[in-house]
């Protein structure tokens, strides 16, 4: 048994994962704006309490069964991670925070901390490979589009990684000169234009929608006001295509997978996004088709992937 934790820019999810990489039980908490002002103790408290509950429940049914003991905890974080520490995560304002050390000291279980985009990338690739063995020698580009934009690249069955830093901070490539200021300190970053959060915020502002509306209600209102927000949709599609085209030109992937919160809104964009990529002048190497897919695991990818990366 393993525990996967997906720490996002607006929430945290925790799941009990079996050896077949299936989530048996999951728990989730949304962060309030007040909690975000001092997020570290909130994160620690929720993880420690939830893992303790999971351990107690397992203890009641497992007795001394080794198969039902928790062997490790994996934490997927939205930013740079190294040696168990969160080095930098701009959307939560956390720097040099050794979360693994704190959790290991209290829970007595090995803890690994890795970038969430790469965790989700591994999980989605494993799922894709299970469905189609031919994927093992392909180049896979994975984009995690939610509060920000992260991701990973699989090259011939291996996750590409940097040596000094993990790298592949796709959301922080600049797509607009002197553009919108980003939390990372630069201007014009891809995630300030292509994240699903940015699109939702623009729609809420245009239609005077309350900030705390849930996703189902927001999608319903978007449907009712399609004509009023069509210019925002087209602008978002172009910005998304601009960022993705840069990645295609660099990596020439065989398959592109998009996950994260975008997957809940993908039906609004995907067909037009593919058409924009194919029929515009954004791609250096022209093509007639593009294998772009929506992630199958949804929000489970970060939890599962966190338990898969060593």
**pLDDT attached to residue 125:** 92
pLDDT in tens, 225-278: 999 999 999 999 999 999 999 999 999 999 999 998 899 999 999 999 999 999
**pLDDT attached to residue 66:** 60
The rounded distance, in Å, linking the Cα atoms of 102 and 108 is 10
User: In the predicted model, what is the mean pLDDT of residues 145-169?
Assistant: 85
33: pLDDT strictly greater than 90: no
Spatial contact of 13 and 80, defined as CB atoms under 8 Å apart:
no
Helix, strand counts (H, E) of the chain: 10, 13
Mean pLDDT, rounded, of the chain: 90
What 8-state DSSP symbol labels residue 61? H
Residues linked to residue 187 through DSSP beta bridges, in sequence order:
181
Q: Does this chain's domain 2-118+301-306 share its CATH topology with 133-295?
A: yes
pTM of the model: 0.86
User: What is the b/e burial string over 183-211, where b = at least 16 CB atoms within 10 angstroms of the residue's CB?
Assistant: bbeeebbbbbbbbbbbbbeebeeeeebee
The first and second tokens of residue 237, run together, are 């599609």
Q: Report residue 41's pLDDT band, with 50, 70 and 90 as the boundaries.
A: very high
Residues linked to residue 112 through DSSP beta bridges, in sequence order:
74
**Which residues, in sequence order, are CB contacts of 10 under 8 Å at separation 6+?**
30, 31, 147
Q: If one looks up domain 133-295 in CATH, what number appears? A: 3.30.420.40
Fold held by 2-118+301-306: Nucleotidyltransferase; domain 5 (3.30.420)
Domain ranges of the chain: 2-118+301-306, 133-295
pLDDT in tens, 79-138: 888 888 888 888 788 889 999 999 999 999 999 999 888 999 999 999 888 777 777 788
**pLDDT attached to residue 282:** 94
């Amino acid at each position: 048994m393993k525990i996967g934790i997906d720490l996002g820019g607006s929430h945290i999810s925790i799941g009990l994962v079996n050896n077949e990489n299936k989530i048996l039980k999951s728990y989730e908490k949304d962060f309030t704006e007040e909690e975000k002002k001092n997020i570290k103790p909130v994160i620690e408290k929720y993880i420690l309490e939830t893992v303790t509950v999971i351990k107690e429940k397992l203890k009641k049914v497992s007795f001394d069964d080794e198969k039902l003991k928790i062997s490790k905890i994996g934490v997927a974080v939205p930013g740079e991670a190294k040696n168990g520490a969160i080095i930098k995560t701009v959307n939560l304002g956390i720097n040099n925070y050794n979360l693994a050390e704190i959790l290991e000291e209290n829970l007595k279980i090995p803890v690994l901390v890795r970038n969430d985009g790469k965790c989700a990338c591994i999980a989605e690739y494993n799922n894709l490979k299970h469905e189609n063995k031919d994927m093992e020698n392909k180049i896979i580009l994975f984009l995690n589009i939610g509060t920000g934009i992260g991701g990973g690249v699989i090259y011939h069955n291996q996750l590409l990684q940097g040596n000094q830093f993990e790298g592949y901070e796709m959301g922080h490539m600049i797509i607009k000169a002197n553009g919108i200021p980003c939390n990372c300190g630069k201007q014009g970053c891809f995630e300030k234009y292509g994240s699903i959060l940015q699109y939702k915020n623009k729609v809420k502002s245009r239609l005077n929608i309350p900030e705390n509306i849930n996703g189902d209600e927001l999608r319903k209102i978007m449907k009712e006001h399609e004509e009023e927000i069509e210019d925002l949709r087209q602008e978002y599609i172009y910005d998304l295509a601009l960022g993705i085209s840069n990645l295609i030109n660099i990596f020439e992937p065989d398959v592109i997978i998009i996950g994260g919160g975008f997957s809940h809104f993908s039906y609004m964009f995907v067909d037009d996004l593919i058409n924009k990529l194919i029929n515009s002048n954004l791609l250096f190497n022209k093509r007639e088709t593009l294998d772009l897919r929506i992630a199958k695991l949804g929000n489970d990818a970060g939890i599962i992937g966190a338990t898969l990366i060593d």
